[in-house]
Structure 1
Amino acid sequence: MATEDLMRKALEALGEVNGPMSIEVIHRLVDAGDVEDPMSIAEVSDLLDVSAHTLRYYEKIGLVTVDRDSSGHRVYGPESVRRLVFLTRMRISGMAIRDLQHYVELVDAGEGTVPE
């Protein structure tokens, strides 16, 4: 069975065929990890199909660190975008924000937390 068919069946099982988690969104998430240049909040929002409010919230609760330019505007580097791709995928899978926060804390703490 093709990947697209598997994704369609998974989305149907979740009742999300015509909802916010379309197959097109998932395809864009799969391809989003190759970002090399800094991006604005609008570009990241469009790329991941999430609102700018969601991106600011993820930053506020410590899930992602975002640099600022000389004007104070958010600038998402490749590392931040890759983390947001991961976070967005995990949210689609149903992972709770609380669990994501714990996971990010472990990742940021380094190799010593791998067993946990």
Structure 2
Amino acid sequence: MAEEIKKILQDILTKVPDLHCILITDRDGVSVAKVCTEKATESGTRFGFISTFGLAVDQGSKLGLGKTSTLICYYSQYQVIQMNKSPLVLTFIASKKCNTGLIMALENQLEPIISELSMVVAET
């Protein structure tokens, strides 16, 4: 199953220009699946960086606007898109010039994988 998921993620990664990394982690930042190109930033894939999503979601919910579903952060050279797929987090790391809307559209394409992995994570 793991190799099959990695192959699907790798296919998606190669089809989206300037997308450097797709990570699926649990809420604490523990990697479940990961595919990256050589252009992926090392600091963006670190446990400490990825695990801050849970904190950001908690803070965002205090605004009274409902549950946070997606965070999009732009940096000088990169953009990071993180989607809350409880109990998992879907993270995309791309160049600043990557089409953000195209990345957002991947959510539906990845839904079957996320559903399958969510059941596995929930059992552990």
One fold, TM greater than 0.5? no
Higher RCO, 1 or 2 (CA under 8 Å, sep at least 6)?
2
The structure whose residues are more often helix, as a share, is: 1
**Structure of larger gyration radius:** 1
TM-score by length of 2: 0.28
TM-score by length of 1: 0.29
The structure whose residues are more often strand, as a share, is: 2
